[in-house]
Structures are given as C-alpha cells and as structure tokens.
Amino acid sequence: MNENIEKIWVFAEVEGGEVADVSLELVSKAGELAAGFGAAEVGACLVGHRVRHLADGLFACGCQNVYCAEDAEFATYRTLPYTEVLTHLLAEHRPDIMLIGATPLGRDLAPRVASRLQVGLTADCTDLQIGPHRDPVRKKSYENILYQIRPAFGGNIIATIVSPEKRPQMATVRPGVMHKAEPDESRSGNLHEVQVDIPRTALAVEVLEHNTSAHRVDLTGAGIIVAGGAGVGGKENFQLIRRLADVLGGEVGASRAAVDSGFVEKPHQVGQTGTTVRPKLYIACGISGAIQHKVGMQNAGKIIAINSDPDAPIFDVAHYGIVGDLNLIIPKLIKAYKDNAR
C-alpha cells in the first residue's frame, strides 16, 4: 500500500486556560513529520469553554487548521463528552495520525477514543518517525507508516510499534519528550467551529468541585534539574541536592531508587515511570544511569554526571563527567557557583 500522509492531528489539551506545553510540543513534532509530505496538514482539536482565542498559539506553532468545539459543558474535562467530540471529528476528517499528550487527561481520553474507532493506540511514545513497513504474516508492504517508538519490557528494549491497517494511527507522547519549536506569531491558519450533539447519557457525570494542589513539582517546565539517586545515601543527605538546585534556581529530580528509599517524594522521579524531562541542564548525582532513568533525561541540553564509579552507565549520556564522591563535589560546586555569581 502506497499511502501518502495527508493529515497529522494533535489534541490540544487546555490546562489552566492555556494550551498545555505537551500539545505544543506535539504540534511541533507533527510539523516535522508533515514536512516530509509537502501538502500534509497539521491540525489540532481544541475542546473547551471560551477557548477559541487559544487557536492563535496553535497557529504560531505550525497548525494550519484548528477544529474548535466550544460549549459550557466542556468547561471541565469529563471523559464522555470529550470522547464524543474527538470521535466525531476523527470519524469525519479521518486524519492519518492523531497525537495526544500522555497526561492524566490524555491517558483517560486516548484509549476511549481509540476503542470507539476500533483503532490501535500506543501509549507513552518517546519517539515518532514515518517509514515503510513489511508485514511478514500478511505478506503486505506499506509505505509511510507511523513508527510509534517506546521502551518495552521494563525498558530493556526499545520497541517500534505500528498499526498499518487502521486510521488514524494513534499515539500518546509524554510531556517533555518532543522539542517545542519557537512560536512564530506571524503565522495564521483556519479556525473551524465544530458543533457536536452530545447525548444526555454522555453528560451523566457532574463535576461538583475542582481542586488543584497548591505546590506542584514542575519538572517538565524546569530549565535546570539537579537529580539525586541511591548514591546520595539518605533522606537527610538529600538536602545537598536541594541546596545545589536552589543555588542554581533549578528543580529537584530523583531516580526511582531514591524515591523508593524515601529520600524524596514520587513527583520528583525522572524516568520511564516518572517524568520525562528536557531541561537545558541536568545534573545527575549518585545515579548509575539505568535505561529506565536515561529514557527520561537523555534529551537534556547538557548533562553533568557525578558518580564515584568511573564505569557507571550515566557517563555514556553525560556531556561532562565528574568521577568522585558527591559529598565532596557538590559543596565545591555550590561554593564555586556562589563565588562566581558575586
């Protein structure tokens, strides 16, 4: 089958009145993928209440068409009404590819929609590419299939998953994995208003209250992350990691071993079962560099690793490596930074 890619769509998640960063990252990735197919459309589905003004940000990031469903019923996310809208849009416009952020909302919505449309879905992709595919069982060849790439089997392999027969090819991608292109405010596009009749049965759930916790660990938005692992040695000693993060104006990250040992809370965890991050600077302290940790941080702009073991795998992805005891090195880094900042 020699199919061209004509439409690559993204679900534009709205978070706190803004389009979520992950959606803009996916629009940028969709643009990259579409670039190989001259006239391929990058589209976005925008659902909410009084959200049409957000289309400008999507156009600036490279969308040509935004399909906007506005209704007071969409003010707060509810699974069924959103599923109705997205299923309706995908069935009508039949994009080749549909990308959704692997946020709590996306992880709830994407499988519902995929199930309604009877299409495949790959969750938590860390890379997306397009290429040919040969199915040895059906003895069929396909052109231009979405490679949905993600760690599998506990992170021991990187699997490439394809759904060649059905459209759209659907994938969720974690926040921070894809690179967000600089928005170009001069870009514009077409805003399509969408009317969808939501059946009463889809409105059965009523949202009585919406609470968000005051303090959130913002690993995806952090420019600098100082992360500690099992090598930090204890909860008390983890203050060293916090001090370095504070001095540099960064966020605190951690390996799963540090979280499991109770040194720090789970929201700080970086990696396959934590958060995927892409800061400008990542300092890994006492972290060995297991694959499940590396998949969550290896796309950082610059990586500094501090480890007493010169053969630790973290050095394979580090731009700068310091071999030694973090208890001696981190205080020196803090002092050097403070001295130079004066």
Ligand X SMILES: Cc1cc2nc3c(=O)[nH]c(=O)nc-3n(C[C@H](O)[C@H](O)[C@H](O)COP(=O)(O)OP(=O)(O)OC[C@H]3O[C@@H](n4cnc5c(N)ncnc54)[C@H](O)[C@@H]3O)c2cc1C
Footprint on this chain of ligand X (rule: CB under 6 A):
154-155, 229-231, 255-258, 269-274, 286-288, 290, 292-293, 296, 306-309, 312, 325-327
* CB of 72 vs ligand X, minimal distance in Å: 39
Q: Which of 125, 150, 128 is nearest to 28 (CA)?
A: 128
Is the distance from CB of 306 to CB of 329 less than 8 angstroms?
A: yes
* CB of 288 vs ligand X, minimal distance in Å: 3
DSSP 3-state of 331 = helix
Is the distance from CB of 316 to CB of 289 less than 8 angstroms?
A: yes
Nearer to ligand X, 16 or 104 (CB): 104
Nearer to ligand X, 316 or 325 (CB): 325
Nearer to ligand X, 30 or 283 (CB): 283
Give the C-alpha distances (Å, rounded to integers) separating 268 from 163, 197, 256, 259: 34, 41, 9, 8
* CB of 295 vs ligand X, minimal distance in Å: 8
Nearer to ligand X, 298 or 307 (CB): 307
Question: Residues 314, 315, 320, 324: is their CA dihedral positive or negative?
Answer: positive
**Alpha-carbon dihedral 207, 107, 193, 208, rounded to 10 degrees:** 0
The whole-angstrom separation of Cα 301 and Cα 297 is 10
* CB of 149 vs ligand X, minimal distance in Å: 17
* CB of 259 vs ligand X, minimal distance in Å: 8
* CB of 284 vs ligand X, minimal distance in Å: 8
Nearer to ligand X, 122 or 276 (CB): 276
The whole-angstrom separation of Cα 114 and Cα 172 is 11
Give the C-alpha distances (Å, rounded to integers) separating 53 from 13, 191, 227, 313: 14, 10, 38, 47
Nearer to ligand X, 60 or 306 (CB): 306
